Amino acid sequence: MTSREDQAEAESVRLAEVIAAVEDQVAETMDKLAKQHPHQEEHLHALGDDARKQAARQRQWAEDHRGGSALAAQDQEA
């Protein structure tokens, strides 16, 4: 990868991590709202669960793409 591609990849990983953190905050908010609004508890917990799943997907994506240029360089050397 070129330096520009490396920078774009690193920025994408950073953004995925930021999105994961925001999704965690959304999940926490949904849990708090569920306690305050028992009549909507099931729906709010479902939204929180979805947010947690999305956070996990974002973290996995970031992990899979972290250091991608180093892996590419190793592949080229082999």
| pLDDT single digits (tens) 14-63 | 999 999 999 999 999 999 999 999 999 999 999 999 999 999 999 999 99
What's the domain count of the chain? 1
- C-alpha to C-alpha distance for 4 and 62, rounded to whole angstroms: 18
Structural domain that includes position 31: 3-77
Q: Can you give the pLDDT at residue 45? A: 97
Asked whether the predicted pLDDT for residue 75 surpasses 90, the reply is no
State pTM to two decimals.
Answer: 0.79
Distances (CA, A) of 7 to 25, 41, 54, 66: 27, 43, 24, 11
DSSP notation for 44-69:
HHHHHHHHHHHHHHHHHHHHHHTTHH
